[in-house]
Amino acid sequence: MGVTIKDIAKLANVSHTTVSRALNNSPLIKENTKRKIIEIANQLNYSPDVHARSLVLQKSYTIGLFLTRLSNGTSSSFLAETIKGVNSVIDENYNLYVRGIQDFQDFSAITRKRFDGIILMSQSDIDNAFIYHVLEKEIPLVVLNRQVEERSIVNVLSNDQEGVYEAINLFIENGHRNIALIEGTSHFRSSQERKEGYIKALIDFKLPILQEYMVKGNYDMESGYKAMKKLLALENPPTAVFCSNDDMAIGAMKAVNDAGLFVGADFSIIGFDDIGFSEYTSPALTTVKRPIEKISMVGAQKLLQLMDDVIEENEPIYLTTNLVKRQSVVDLNKKNS
C-alpha cells in the first residue's frame, strides 16, 4: 500500500540508505543520483512515514495547544483567536493539536516524545497540575495569559490590572463616582487581576469600596445580564459599570435596555477584551483591548525558539492592553453643565 524508501531503492538500483540520504538532501550523494531518486520518489508519490521517522529521530513534529477547557467558560472568540494566532506562526511541517486540559483524566499521554513543545493558554490555576507535569517531563513549555511563579517557564501575558485601572480612570474623568464591577469566573486568575485593578483605582482616587458594587459573574453573557439586573435594583445604583469581559458587557447592556435606559445616554459601561462585536453594539462599546491573538503569536514564536536554542531569558513578557474609546460612556461633566 504505502511506498517506502526500499521500493524506491529497488527501482533506482541503490540501497535504501542512499535513498534516505538523497531525499534528505545529504551532501554525501552525487547530484546525479539525487535527481534520479527524487524523480522516482515523485513518480511513486512517496511520502515518508512520520511514525518511523519520529521513532528514530525522537521528534514528533507536533505542538500541543492546550486551553483550560474548550467549552464552558471559554468564549468562542477567545478560543478562535488563540488558535488563529498560534496557527499563523506554526508552519506546515508541524502538527497542531488542540485540546482542553479538563478533558483529560490523567496526563500519562502527555510525554516528551509526543510533543516537541506545548503552548498553554491558561485561564485558571487549576491547571497548575498540568504545568508541573509538563515541567517534569521536560517538554518545552510556554504559558500564556496567566502569570506563573516558576521562573523557568516562558510566560506571555497582558497587564490586565493596568488596563482596568485605565478604564476606571476614564469613568472618573467623565465625572462618575458610583462605579460598579461585574466580576469574571471566581477561580480564574484573570478575574482577580481585573478586580485588583478596579480596587486599586478606587483607592487611588479616594472612592469608597462597596461590597454591593462588586457582583460576581462567570464571563458569559447571561451572567452579565443578571449581574446588571442586581445592580440596577440597588437602592443607590451605580452610574457606571466595568465588566470583566465584553461578553458580560453585552449582557449588561441588554439589561440596561430592558430597564428602559439607554447606554451611552443614561448609563455607562466599559468592557474588556475588544471582541469583534464590541464595535457593532448599540452604542459601540468602550472596552479594554486585550491582544489575545498577539499573545498567542508571540507565545508560539517563543516556543519555537525554546525548542531550538533553549533560550533562558525567562522574564515574563507583558503585552499592553489598550483602551478603545467608543460610545458607551456618558460624560457627566457635560451633561450637568
Q: Which residues bind DNA (CB under 7 A)?
A: 2, 4-6, 13-18, 20-21, 23-24, 27-30, 32-33, 46, 48-49, 52-53, 55-57
Task: Kindly state whether residue 212 participates in binding a second copy, applying the rule CB under 8 A.
Answer: no
Do residues 249 and 279 touch, judged by C-beta distance below 8 A? no
Backbone phi and psi for residue 290, each to the nearest 5 degrees, phi listed first: -110, 125
Query: 210 vs 259, which CB is nearer to a second copy?
Result: 259
Q: Three-state SS for 58?
A: coil
Q: Which partner in DNA, a second copy, none is near 13 (CB below 5 to 8 A by kind)? A: DNA
Among 8, 20, 37, 60, which residue sits at the site for a second copy (rule: CB under 8 A)? Answer: 60
Report d(CA 234, CA 227) in Å as an integer.
11
Report d(CA 50, CA 73) in Å as an integer.
36
Crossing angle of helices 76-89/292-309, nearest 10°?
A: 40
Among 25, 32, 92, 315, which residue sits at the site for a second copy (rule: CB under 8 A)? Answer: 92
What are the residues facing 334 on neighbouring strands?
A: none
Do residues 286 and 271 touch, judged by C-beta distance below 8 A? yes
Least gap, CB of 49 to a second copy (angstroms): 6
Among 10, 112, 200, 229, which residue sits at the site for a second copy (rule: CB under 8 A)? Answer: 112
Least gap, CB of 111 to DNA (angstroms): 10
Least gap, CB of 206 to a second copy (angstroms): 35
The string over 174-184, giving b where at least 16 C-beta atoms fall within 10 Å of a residue's C-beta and e elsewhere, is bbbebbbbbbb
Task: Kindly state whether residue 175 participates in binding a second copy, applying the rule CB under 8 A.
Answer: no
Place of cell 449582557: 251
Do residues 238 and 213 touch, judged by C-beta distance below 8 A? yes
What residues line the site for a second copy (CB under 8 A)? Answer: 1-2, 45, 47, 49-52, 54-55, 60, 62, 70-71, 75-77, 79-81, 83-84, 87-88, 92-93, 95-100, 103-105, 108-109, 111-114, 221, 225, 247, 250-251, 253-254, 257, 275-277, 279-282, 284
